[in-house]
Amino acid sequence: MNIFVDYLLTAIPLGMTFLYGCVGEILTEKAGHLNLGIPGIMCVGGASGCLALKYLSTLGLPAFVLVILSIIAAFVGGIAMGLIYCFLTVTLKSNQNVTGLAMTTFGVGVTKFVMSGLAENGGMGYLYARDYFRYPFAQSTTSLKLCGVMVYLAVVIALAAAFVLSRTRVGLHLRAVGENPATADAVGINVTKYKYVATCIGSGIAALGGLFYIMDYSGSYEAYKSIEALGWLSVALVIFTIWRPLVSIFGSAIFGALYLAGSHLPTLLGVRFDMSVTPLLQLLPYIVTIIVLIVTSIRNKRENQPPASLGLPYFREER
Amino acid sequence: MRNNKTSVHEPLFHVVKRDTIPLWKSMLIRVIAVAASLLVCSLLSMVLIKANPIEFLETLVDATFGSERRLWKFSKDAAVLLCIALAITPAFKMKFWNIGAEGQVLIGALASVACAFYLGKSMPNWALLIVMFVAAVISGAIWGGIPAIFKAKWGTNETLFTLMMNYAASGIVAFFLVKWTPSGSSVLGELKVGHLPEIVHPYLLIILAVIAITLFVFIYQSFTKHGYELSVVGESENTARYIGINVKKVIIRTMLLSGAICGIAGFLIVAGLDHSITETTVGGRGFTAIMVSWLAKFNPLVMILTAAFVTFLNQGASQISTFFNIDSSFPSMVVGIVLFFIIGCEFFINYKVKFRSTSKKEVK
């Protein structure tokens, strides 16, 4: 198979991991909350999905039911984490950065705890379902096998998020809450409800990214260890895509390509690099993010700014 | 002025911001939160690993205070964590969300190792240590200074910038590890040179150094003009500009200092403890330090307690995970849960919940 096509077919599915995290974080940030717990939430999503697969393995359910149930489990796991985050930052008005970092510590810990148990206990584990997730290309011997059902789900979710945010009343209200909660409150929007719902659904979507990475993209028992780093890139991707779900579909593919540049570029260009160059090539997505951060801040266009009240707690009596 | 005779609908409770709270009361709230979180943790471990809660707490305490060796290990770990927390404190007080301590420490450690690697044979140990120290300070300051310059000039988001710099640092470390190990194993053995001298105990010098840094940061923040300026910038940039503080200069200067202390932490880790480097030399302590600093409300002296507390939890929980033979991820779960409670309890310190009075008032 053509090396370039192979590169693309690996990069785009990897990008979908970022896309889930990124769309989830966009929804959260549109409600005015910077959730640095996304890496932890993605891990927990992977863990709860795999936990469901493990316990459903003996029931003999049809493949598509298994996939749907584990996706739901991941979503619910994400929402549970989102609720903890919301309770602390919305109801108890704590500092969002600190809460988010604690969420990541906690989420990564829980995931390692759960996952290390699942792989060792013998029996079926959860990887038996890998081919169900890679439907319809599971039997392919090339990288095409990575383009499973959750790749399309990610794009659908991103499109839906874009539609809701820019074309519906709910989206308008949500953006109002993120820009200026006091004004939104004054026109009768239930700020707390919007913050809770947006953040929890966002966490649920991000959580799917973890499940996708374990079951489809990586398909190994070690996969859960690398989700955290990918989660941080998803958070960065939000800025890269200037808070737009549509842009994030392409942005995530680009990030996927950059992330894999280290291992694919030498074969693609037909040159042999010194071995020490590989770690430097792996820095590309981070350096590109930094450049994008700098460029967007220098250009300073009004429509490319984060939601105005991002990171600030809202207390009604303090208006 | 309400003068209709209908009874007024009052919600069950409402939240009021407190003006001040006596110290004992705020401490009491925190102690209750910690106690509650430990209760949850021990219940959780009862469910997950069938550990008796009393045994759980005993192991937790025993892990730190059980023997002299454990106490030394505890003091060393707490000191390193404290050092990193102190480093990020001035920046945080300025509301500069520097989550890049991980990278700044790592790059400082890398600079120290590089000096020892290239210059180790050509100079005496004391001179080498000085060179290593200076290199670590400068490289840490540069690593912290880059995001600060962009933040000051164009308001570039510092949280993500510093986060990305962490990965950049670990990539550079990976690059040098491949360079330095001809076999391609990327495992750098223990360096034979550039060890800190041993006073009484291998860890004592590090602990003393961190105490000195604590005092320095305390004095810097509370009694110097620089410290005053950075807290004004943190409270309100507009006020700072109004009273003639050069905000850009303060941001860059503070981050240079913050990065430099991170560099020192890296130097201490390399010269005093590890004598080597890997990509995970810092091991998440850059993030934990943020909690430590924030829990102490950016007060360096209180930070001694919070650093000790977090280290105590970590060491205790990892002892429990060995004792009950469970996964080593257990400590981060425990620390996470305790942090949730402490973060949450701040609400009850800053706000007051007023319940509806039970007697139905007739409004005149």
Q: What is the ipTM of this complex?
A: 0.88
Closest Cβ opposite residue B333 in set A104, A106, A293: A106
**B90/B25 same-domain check:** no
Q: Do B248 and B99 belong together in one domain?
A: yes
Q: Mean pLDDT for each consecutive 10-residue tract of chain B (364 residues)?
A: 58 81 86 91 83 82 87 93 95 90 95 91 89 96 95 87 90 89 76 82 90 96 93 90 92 95 95 88 88 89 93 88 80 88 89 73 49
State whether B162 and B18 are in the same domain. Answer: no
Length of chain B: 364
Same domain, B180 and B226: yes
Q: Give yes or no: residues B136 and B205 share one domain.
A: yes
For chain A, positions 6-35, list CB contacts with chain B under 8 A: 34
Q: Quick one: pLDDT at residue B364? A: 45
Q: Which of A19, A48, A43 is nearest to A118 (CA)?
A: A48
Residue B17 lies in a domain: yes
**One domain for residues B309 and B330:** no
Residues in chain B within 8 Å Cβ distance of A95: 294, 343, 346
Cα–Cα nearest to B89, from B279, B282, B219, B180: B219
* Local structure of residue B155 (DSSP, 8 states): -
Position B4 in a domain: no
The domains found in chain A, sorted by start residue, are 3-318 (1.10.3470)
B/e letters for A28-67, b = 16+ CB within 10 Å, e = fewer, are bbbbbbbbbbbbbbbbbbbbbbbbbbbebbeeeeeeeebb
Cβ burial, residue A151 (10 Å; 0-12/13-18/19+): buried
Say yes or no for a CB contact (<8 Å) between B164 and A236: yes
Specify whether B335 is located in the same domain as B226: no
Rounded Cα distance between A18 and A210, Å, is 9
Return the closest-CA partner of residue A149 out of A67, A81, A214, A88.
A67
From B80, B89, B75, select the one nearest B108 (Cα to Cα): B80
CB contact under 8 A, A297 and B155: yes
Which residue in A87, A286, A294 is closest to B168 by CB distance?
A286
In three-state secondary structure terms, B17 is strand
- CB-CB neighbours of A259 under 10 Å: 23
Same domain, B235 and B333: no
CA distance B126 to chain A (A): 32
Closest partner residue to A290 (CB to CB) among B161, B290, B337 is B161
* B347 & B207 share domain: no
> Would an 8 Å CB–CB cutoff place B347 in contact with chain A?
yes
- Indicate the residue of A106, A108, A282 with minimum beta-carbon distance to B171: A282
How far is Cα B227 from Cα B52, in angstroms, rounded to an integer? 48
Contacts of residue B132, Cβ cutoff 8 Å, sequence gap at least 6: B111, B112, B115, B116, B194, B267, B270, B271
Residues 6+ apart with CB under 8 A from B148: B96, B158, B251, B252, B254, B255, B256
User: What per-residue confidence (pLDDT) applies to B191?
Assistant: 82
Pair B75, B199 in one domain: yes
The 3-state DSSP class for residue A87 equals: helix
Contact state of B157 with A297 under an 8 Å Cβ cutoff: yes
Q: According to DSSP H, which parts of chain A are helical?
A: 3-30, 38-56, 63-86, 96-120, 130-133, 149-167, 169-179, 181-186, 191-212, 227-240, 245-269, 277-281, 284-299
Q: Which residues of A touch B159 (CB under 8 A)?
A: 34, 36, 97
Residues B19 and B143 grouped into a single domain: no
Chain A segment 213-232 residues within 8 A of B by beta carbon are: 229, 232
Cis omega before residue A181 (within 30°)?
no
**What values do phi and psi take at A212, rounded to 5?**
-60, -45
Does residue B2 fall inside a structural domain? no
Q: What is the pTM of this model?
A: 0.89
Task: Tell me which chain A residue has its CA closest to the CA of residue B157.
Answer: A293
Phi and psi of A250, rounded to 5°? -75, -40
Nearest CA in chain A to B14: A317
Query: Is B143 contained in some domain?
Result: yes
> Which value, to the nearest 10 degrees, does the dihedral of the CA atoms of residues B184, B185, B188, B192 take?
-80
Chain A CB contacts of B347 below 8 Å: 91-94
Per DSSP, which regions of chain B are E strands? 13-17, 351-355
Residue B287 to residue A94, Cβ atoms within 8 A = no
Q: State which residue of chain A sits closest to B184, comparing Cα positions.
A: A275
A279 and B171 in contact by Cβ < 8 A? yes
Q: CB distance A315–B150 less than 8 Å?
A: no
Q: B271 burial class (0-12, 13-18, 19+ CB within 10 angstroms)?
A: buried
Q: Which residue among B330, B331, B339 places its CB closest to the CB of A102?
A: B339
Hey, CA dihedral for B175, B179, B181, B184, is it positive or negative?
positive
**CB nearest B291 (choices: A98, A298, A318):** A98
CB–CB contact B171 A300 (8 Å):
no
CB-CB neighbors (< 8 A) of B178 in chain A:
275-276, 278-279
B59 plus B167 within the same structural domain: yes
Q: Which tokens hold the place of A235?
A: 């958070």
Does B3 map to a domain? no
Whether B1 maps to a domain, the answer reads no
Domain encompassing residue B24: 10-51+324-364
| Cβ(A297)–Cβ(B154) below 8 Å | yes
Q: Residue B307 belongs to a domain with what CATH number?
A: 1.10.3470.10
pLDDT at B7: 61
Among candidates B150, B333, B351 on the partner chain, residue whose Cβ is nearest the Cβ of A294? B150
Query: Quick check: is B152 in a domain?
Result: yes
Is B195 part of a structural domain of the chain? yes
Q: Is A220 helix (H, G, I), strand (E, B) or coil?
A: coil
| Overall number of domains in chain B | 2
Residues of chain A with pLDDT under 50: none
A150 vs A209: CA distance, rounded Å: 9
